[in-house]
Amino acid sequence: MRGCTACPLYANRKQTVFGVGDERADWLFVGEGPGAEEDARGEPFVGQAGKLLDNMLAAIGIKRGNDVYIANVVKCRPPGNRVPEASEAARCEPFLTRQIALIQPKMIIALGKTAASNLLGTEASVGSLRGRLHDFHGTALLVTYHPAYLLRNLPDKAKAWEDLCLARDTMQRLKSAQAAPK
Ligand code: SF4
């Protein structure tokens, strides 16, 4: 993927940002695309939004690198941190699809509209998709707000907290069902 030139985003990147974390994780968090700091460091969700994501992970009892993998819809930084074009996301989709296939998470958390749109194939708003479980080819998927959005819209943090509680409870249920004698 490092040499990928499949979409125009390759032209402005310092490096591709593939993802980070436990490759056998039960949790997969998917964001939009790398920002300036991520582009420089080669890791998704660093900086203020990354700190908030780490706090969100802590709220459900997990931490970066341990049973969680973090990735983005596009692996190269969109100029000026704009939203990736649909054609760019479509070009990059095979990488995320492969990541999901290899990690085999029990649950995917789509952070923000770009992740939700691309994973669920809908243009519906985060507000209308959050708060309930979706299905991604047999894997539970939950939509919540992107940490960068939450930094600008503090009142919605309470809704994100509700989503994380639902995610945590669902994960417990999934693990119990797996552990139950057949
Ligand atoms: Fe390739 Fe994805 Fe980067 Fe586009 S964003 S150049 S498809 S790795």
Three-state secondary structure string covering 111-173? ECHHHHHHHHCCCCCHHHHCCCEEEECCEEEEEECCHHHHHHCHHHHHHHHHHHHHHHHHHHH
Please list every protein residue whose CB sits less than 6 Å from any atom of ligand 1: 1, 4-7, 9-10, 16, 74-76, 88, 91-92
SS3 category, 35: coil
Write out the chain's pLDDT in tens, 182 residues.
Answer: 889 999 999 999 999 999 999 999 999 999 999 999 999 999 999 989 999 999 999 988 999 989 999 999 999 999 998 999 999 999 999 999 999 999 999 999 999 999 999 999 999 999 999 999 999 999 999 999 999 999 999 999 999 999 999 999 999 999 998 887 76
Expressed in angstroms and rounded, the spacing between residue 98 Cα and the centre of ligand 1 is 14
CA separation for the pair 95, 45 (Å, rounded): 18
**Cα-to-centroid distance, 25 and ligand 1 (Å):** 24
**Tokens 């994100």 found at:** 160
**Ligand 1 mutation pick, 1, 2, 10, max ligand atoms within 8 A of CB:** 10
60 C-alpha to center of ligand 1: Å?
Answer: 31
- Ligand 1 nearest atom to the CA of residue 5, by list position: 6
Report which ligand 1 atom has the smallest distance to the Cα of 7. 4
CA separation for the pair 57, 110 (Å, rounded): 13
